[in-house]
Amino acid sequence: MSNETEVLYNAACPICRREIEHYEKISTRDALPIRYDDLGDTETLARWGIDAQAAAQRLHVRKDGQTYAGIPAFIVLWRDIPRLNWLARLVALPGVYWSANKVYDHILAPLLFRWHVAREDRRTETG
């Protein structure tokens, strides 16, 4: 089993792309074993065993054969980026973790997903 961390994200989402590109830049500079996969590729989705809609609804991270989604995925990723380890520890604190999950699951992820669907609808209408 590889110790590589895999990140599945929506590169079509400008907000998601910007955040993940930031992590990818750090990972590349520090030669960290983290791979970033765009959910827009059907082969990637097949490798992850997830459909495009589920993948677009939240960040997914796979580490040591286990897949995490949402805030747990961010925590796994941040733990693997030494300069963001403090953020993983902070968000993992019980009260912060509970709040972060509520905000991500009920506000941020649904909002980003709605924007994604609207972008896809516009692309379908014009293309």
The pTM is what? 0.89
Residue 38 confidence class, pLDDT cut points 50, 70, 90: very high
Burial of residue 16, with CB atoms counted within 10 A of its CB: 0-12 exposed, 13-18 middle, 19 or more buried: buried
Residue scoring higher pLDDT (96 or 54) = 96
Amino acid identity, position 65 = G
Taking the C-alpha atoms of residue 22 and residue 31, their distance in angstroms, rounded to an integer, is: 14
- Asked if pLDDT for residue 127 goes beyond 70, the answer is no
Residue 91 confidence class, pLDDT cut points 50, 70, 90: very high
How many domains does the chain contain in total? 1
pLDDT, average across residues 64-68: 95
Domain region containing 42: 5-126
